[in-house]
Amino acid sequence: MTPFSRITGTGSYLPPRRVTNDDLARELAERGVETSDQWIVERTGIRARHFAAPDVGSSDLALHACRHALEAAGRSVGDVDLIIVATSTPDMIFPSSAAILQNKLGIAGCPAFDVQAVCSGFIYALTVADAMIKTGSARCALVVGAEVFSRILDFNDRTTCVLFGDGAGAVVLEASETPGILASDLHADGKHVGILCVPGSVSGGQVLGTPLLHMDGQAVFKLAVRVLEEAANATLAKAGKTAADIDWLIPHQANLRIMQGTARKLKLPAEKLVVTVHDHGNTSAASIPLALDVAVRGGQVRKGDMVMLEGVGGGFTWGAVLLTL
């Protein structure tokens, strides 16, 4: 019998340094950049974010999140036979942050690789892990989103540098006799590359282009609300469910207005929307597993609940996963 896959444990980690909007405004003022807590909250809903120390990489954040997820699942590192890390800010060009994480966990031999789909990365990674479990290629996977976006922010651009933070979230996904992941839906459209990107590369030891984040906020907003609704509805249709069956909506934590707009389009009440963006900022691929772990540990999301996860990010990529916890 083809196995199902089910999340059996969640974990997350935020670096210790918490930067409030007032903290950030003071730092930006030293650069001659004007912003304020009111300006940021009104446009994004963000009140604080966490920044990693200079010597801390994505794999370091991921390590903590994975240990918490394994503990929650009642599993040891010896049980893991697949590691997938979703990140746009890897420790180095190569090898993958997943391979580096594998070594830090003390595991050897199992497949370990990164997925790069920016803010949709965790949705992509979870879908890949689900497929590998269903085909018998794995039985116990660590699926991680980990980012240090503070490294690629332009702190002279107040429209983008106030949005992002660092962090990691992880889940243990295991083969199961009962359905956990019910359906998923993934998409990309490369013609939108320019509206959200870091247009830099390394050649001959030099950085070519701009190694800092660029975003056309209005274009991203309009596209995000539309494609998130489409992906959610497509996923529900594949699972034979309706929006009324959703207990919790956990979208990519990018902007409170985008998240609320998506919930309204699905006719979901605000009470079913899990929100952590106010305290984490946009942690890209880490944002969905971070929010899931916060909701699980806070007693919001409980075993048996039906949860819609959805993300949208640079590429442009987007997707959704419907699951029963």
Contact between residue 5 and residue 181 where contact means Cβ atoms under 8 Å apart: yes
Distance between CA atoms of residues 239 and 308, nearest Å: 11
Contact between residue 119 and residue 314 where contact means Cβ atoms under 8 Å apart: yes
Q: Is 252 a catalytic residue?
A: yes
What is the DSSP secondary structure assignment for residue 206, as one 8-state letter?
E
Name the nearest CA neighbour of 10 among 307, 219, 212, 259: 307
Q: Which of 66, 119, 140, 197 is catalytic?
A: 119
Residue 269: Cβ-neighbour burial (10 angstroms; 0-12, 13-18, 19+): exposed
CA dihedral 57, 61, 64, 65 (to 10 degrees): -140
- Amino acid code (one letter) for 210: T
Q: Is 66 a catalytic residue?
A: no
**Residues in a beta bridge with 173:** 7, 141
SS3 annotation, 102-165: HHHHCCCCCCEEEECCHHHHHHHHHHHHHHHHHCCCCCEEEEEEEEEHHHHCCCCCHHHHCCEC
Q: Is 64 a catalytic residue?
A: no
Residue bearing tokens 């870091």: 198
Distance between CA atoms of residues 37 and 92, nearest Å: 34
- Containing 82, the helix (H) or strand (E) segment is strand 82-86
In terms of DSSP bridges, do strands 4-13 and 166-176 run parallel, antiparallel, or are they unpaired?
A: antiparallel
- Containing 213, the helix (H) or strand (E) segment is none
Residue bearing tokens 């772990």: 293
Q: Which of 64, 68, 252, 280 is catalytic?
A: 252
Handedness of CA 130, 173, 4, 251 (dihedral sign): negative
Residue numbers annotated as active site: 119, 252, 282
